[in-house]
C-alpha cells in the first residue's frame, strides 16, 4: 500500500503542478473534467451496454403492461414480479463495473483532501507561561491490539529549535492502548515529531504557520483501509506496535465551498456528477 500511495503522490504532484496557486475550485473542476469522462469510457467498455438497454426496455414494457391490464390481477402480479426482477438485473449490470471504478475514485478524492482539506496549525500568540492544558493541540497515539502495554513506554520527542513546545506530560492508558500529549506552536515551520517505543522510532509530520505544504494529513496509520484515505505518510513498522498517530489540523477555508475535507469531497462529487452527466450523453452511454 505504501508503494501505491507513493506512486499516487508523485503522479498527482506532477499532474497538479500547473494548477498550483489557482485554488481548490479550479483544481477540483480540472480533475473532474479529466477523471469523469475517463471513468464513463471505462464503464462503457466494461459494462454490458446491450444488457442494460435490454433491462431498461423490459422494465418500461412491463410497466406499460401493468397500466393496460390493471383490471386483471394475475397479469398485474406477474408484471410486477418481472419489473422487480429486471430492476435487480439492471442494478447488478450497473453496479458491477462501478466496483473497480471505486478504487481510482477513492485515490483521487484522498489526494484532493490532503491537498486542499487542511490548514497549518497556527502559531500560539499567547506567552507559553500563560497557557494551561486544554489550550494547545492534542497528539493522540493508538497502539494495536497486541501492543497496548507499550503505551506506558512511549516517549514523544519534539524537534530541536524550539518551534514546538509541550503543554502537558504524556497521559497513557495501557488498558486501551492509547496515549495523549498536548503541544503548542512557537515558531512556524514543518516539523517531524519523534515517537520512540521499544527501541523503534517513528515520526509524524506537523505543518505549522500560515503557508500550507503541498500535502498535509492529520493521521498517520498502519491500517490497510485507512491508508487509502491518508496516503501521504507511510505505515508504521510492525515492531513499533503503533496503529495510528493523530494531530488535528484546522479545516482549510475554501471559497464558495464548505470548509475542510468535507467541502472538498462534496464539491468534487457535485462537479464530477455534472461532468459525468454530460459525458453520458456525449459518449452515448447506457446507465
254 lies in some domain: no
253 lies in some domain: no
Kindly state whether residues 189 and 218 are assigned to the same domain: yes
123 lies in some domain: no
**Total number of residues shown for the chain:** 287
Residue among 181, 182, 180, 203 nearest 193 (CA): 203
Q: Give the side-chain half-sphere CA count within 13 A for 120.
A: 19
How many structural domains comprise the chain? 2
Kindly state whether residues 206 and 132 are assigned to the same domain: yes
Element (H, E) at 37: helix 24-46
Spatial separation of the C-alpha atoms in residues 260 and 148, rounded to whole Å: 32
252 lies in some domain: no
> Residue 26 pLDDT more than 80?
yes
CATH of the domain at 148: 2.60.40
Q: Cα angle vertex 114, ends 113, 116, to 5°?
A: 65
Interval 111-140: pLDDT, tens = 999 998 999 999 988 777 677 777 889 999
Q: How confident is the model at residue 208 (pLDDT cuts 50, 70, 90)?
A: very high
Q: How confident is the model at residue 17 (pLDDT cuts 50, 70, 90)?
A: confident
6 lies in some domain: yes
243 grid coordinates? 496503529
56 lies in some domain: yes
Spatial separation of the C-alpha atoms in residues 110 and 114, rounded to whole Å: 6
Q: How confident is the model at residue 12 (pLDDT cuts 50, 70, 90)?
A: confident
Kindly state whether residues 147 and 171 are assigned to the same domain: yes
> Residue 282 pLDDT more than 90?
no
Kindly state whether residues 52 and 6 are assigned to the same domain: yes
Percent of the chain, pLDDT > 70? 100
Higher-pLDDT residue of 33 and 174 is 174
Kindly state whether residues 146 and 192 are assigned to the same domain: yes
177 lies in some domain: yes
Q: What is the mean pLDDT of residues 261-286?
A: 85
Residue tagged 462537479 (cell numbers): 271
Q: What is the mean pLDDT of the chain?
A: 88
Structure confidence at residue 233 (pLDDT): 94
Structure confidence at residue 196 (pLDDT): 95
Kindly state whether residues 6 and 111 are assigned to the same domain: yes
Interval 139-193: pLDDT, tens = 999 999 999 999 999 999 999 888 999 998 999 999 999 999 999 999 999 999 9
Contacts of 13 (CB under 8 A, 6+ apart): 214
Kindly state whether residues 135 and 239 are assigned to the same domain: yes
Structure confidence at residue 134 (pLDDT): 78
Residue range(s) defining the domain that contains residue 192: 128-247
Structure confidence at residue 177 (pLDDT): 94
> Residue 256 pLDDT more than 80?
no
Amino acid at each position: 500500500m505504501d508503494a501505491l500511495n507513493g506512486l499516487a503522490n508523485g503522479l498527482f504532484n506532477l499532474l497538479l503542478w500547473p494548477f498550483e496557486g489557482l485554488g481548490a475550485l479550479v483544481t477540483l473542476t480540472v480533475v473532474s473534467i479529466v477523471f469523469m469522462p475517463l471513468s464513463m469510457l471505462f464503464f462503457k467498455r466494461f459494462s454490458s451496454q446491450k444488457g442494460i438497454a435490454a433491462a431498461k426496455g423490459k422494465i418500461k414494457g412491463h410497466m406499460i403492461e401493468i397500466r393496460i391490464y390493471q383490471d386483471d390481477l394475475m397479469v398485474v402480479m406477474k408484471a410486477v414480479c418481472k419489473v422487480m426482477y429486471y430492476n435487480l438485473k439492471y442494478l447488478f449490470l450497473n453496479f458491477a463495473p462501478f466496483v473497480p471504478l471505486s478504487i481510482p475514485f477513492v485515490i483521487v478524492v484522498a489526494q484532493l483532501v490532503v491537498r486542499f482539506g487542511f490548514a497549518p496549525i497556527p502559531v500560539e500568540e499567547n506567552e507559553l507561561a500563560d497557557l494551561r492544558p486544554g489550550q494547545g493541540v492534542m497528539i493522540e497515539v493508538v497502539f494495536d491490539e497486541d501492543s497496548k502495554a507499550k503505551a506506558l513506554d512511549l516517549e514523544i520527542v519534539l524537534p530541536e529549535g524550539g518551534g514546538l513546545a509541550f503543554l502537558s506530560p504524556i497521559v497513557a492508558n495501557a488498558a486501551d492502548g492509547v496515549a495523549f500529549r498536548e503541544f503548542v506552536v512557537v515558531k512556524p515551520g514543518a516539523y517531524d515529531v519523534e515517537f520512540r517505543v521499544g527501541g523503534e522510532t517513528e515520526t509524524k509530520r506537523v505543518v505549522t504557520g500560515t503557508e500550507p505544504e503541498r500535502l498535509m494529513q492529520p493521521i498517520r496509520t498502519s491500517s490497510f483501509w485507512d491508508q487509502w484515505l491518508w496516503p501521504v505518510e507511510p505505515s508504521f513498522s510492525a515492531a513499533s506496535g503503533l496503529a495510528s498517530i493523530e494531530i488535528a489540523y484546522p479545516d482549510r477555508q475554501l471559497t464558495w465551498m464548505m470548509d475542510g475535507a468535507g467541502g472538498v469531497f462534496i464539491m468534487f462529487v457535485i462537479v464530477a456528477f455534472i461532468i459525468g452527466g454530460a459525458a453520458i450523453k456525449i459518449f452515448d452511454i447506457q446507465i
